[in-house]
Structure 1
């Protein structure tokens, strides 16, 4: 049972919305231990709350993009594997997102998951449009199931590579109308990528 307290100047609609949206858990302790909505609302839930804006900054090579890839990976992974199983949007402003790195990270998280190993060993994942081969060997079954889950994860991810600030703004506006389900997380990597380009104009 969840207990909610009404905040000062909070309408019933705001309380209802807050009660029906659980925070996003990223799997990263430095995000998940902070109370959701810590920018203003006082909630006991931990994680990144709906509408929260989190900014990572630091020198080049400090791991900011790696943190973002980990957040996106946790977001798109199936719930039965400990993920959020929710859509995510990744704005790759500087074109440095490595899809191969994301694939490697997802494969590692999926294949090392005990639930995945047990389900795959007991006849395959199935149900997700995957192929279950009763006559295939265990390594082939594991590989097939891994690919099925990986494809499901990648279907929940939209990567946008804008060429400039105006294209970024247009893409954000289009996504508001295009996405049937609101993404659990919108990641913008390389916020300053268009600074000098826009200075010229």
Structure 2
């Protein structure tokens, strides 16, 4: 006997608008060695200050938004800038690095035209208060419904407004704040079949990995960035946990963003 599954009108619209979205699978073997991330997944990038979280997020955004012939997935991207750390010049350098490496035969003029064109698919919400962020989240769902090319939603940084919303009159535990945000991200990623990626500094909700979680309030990929300093140089390491599968990647950061190194 078959089971009838009911869905709301909003869910129907979300499902229809998501049927032709670009996929981010096989985005970059250095970023996602398991050939991910598939639609509906959540990616957390965490680490101490100065370990390259913003660079890592921009690397994912750049590889999503560039055309396929220039190393990307030809997808549109939504970015919530909550900590005012998005540097458009650095992002352009990252786009140029990936585009030139993936299509070395393209001349400089053509590459610049491609980069300028793909920026039309980048939607940036500069939010300076919890109210602005809430309004932007609502507008995001309208965008996801109207634009079936959006495959990636990014947030930097998830706890940016925690100390504004947590007051003596209304105290909120960091882990509670974190889990509620993840639950909201999960609903959006499931409804619209998009990948959600965000940054979290270690000082925000530092015990969240030790607290029992469910699929709804925990990321599918947790990428922890670590800095290694020696007398000769400073390097970085990315430890990725993808639902029990672990990966390790070494990288440096230069004027063109992330430079992955061979293990």
Taking structure 1 as the reference length, what is the TM-score of the superposition?
Answer: 0.66
Distance 1:88 1:49 in 2: 15
Pick from 63, 69, 85 the counterpart of residue 52 of structure 2.
Answer: 63
Could you report, residue by residue, the CA deviation over 1:158-177 in whole angstroms, capped at 9, with x for unpaired residues?
11111122211210111211
Pick from 73, 76, 82 the counterpart of residue 71 of structure 2.
Answer: 82
Please tell me whether Structure 1 or Structure 2 has the larger radius of gyration of its CA atoms: 1
CA shift at 1:19, angstroms?
9.3
Distance 2:98 2:31 in 1: 19
Q: Secondary structure at the match of 1:108?
A: helix
Partner residue in 2 for 1:104:
93
Q: Aligned pair count? A: 154
- What are the equivalent positions in structure 2 for 1:7-26 lying under 5 Å apart? 22-26=23-27
2:54 counterpart of 1:54: no
Distance 2:157 2:133 in 1: 11
Distance 1:95 1:108 in 2: 23
Bigger proportion of residues as strand: 2
Bigger proportion of residues as helix: 1
Distance 1:25 1:176 in 2: 26
Q: Which moved more, 1:98-107 or 1:51-60?
A: 51-60
Unmatched 5+ stretches in structure 2: 6-14, 171-263
Unmatched 5+ stretches in structure 1: 1-8, 34-45, 121-141
RMSD of aligned alpha carbons:
2.9
CA shift at 1:147, angstroms?
1.6
CA shift at 1:23, angstroms?
4.4
2:162 counterpart of 1:199: no
- What are the equivalent positions in structure 2 for 1:119-130 lying under 5 Å apart? 120=106
Partner residue in 1 for 2:121:
156
Q: Secondary structure at the match of 1:88?
A: strand
Could you report, residue by residue, the CA deviation over 1:92-114 in whole angstroms, capped at 9, with x for unpaired residues?
1100111111001111111233x
2:84 counterpart of 1:95: yes
Distance 2:162 2:98 in 1: 36
Does the Cα contact within 8 Å between 1:26 and 1:32 map onto a contact in 2? no
2:147 counterpart of 1:181: yes
Taking structure 2 as the reference length, what is the TM-score of the superposition?
Answer: 0.52
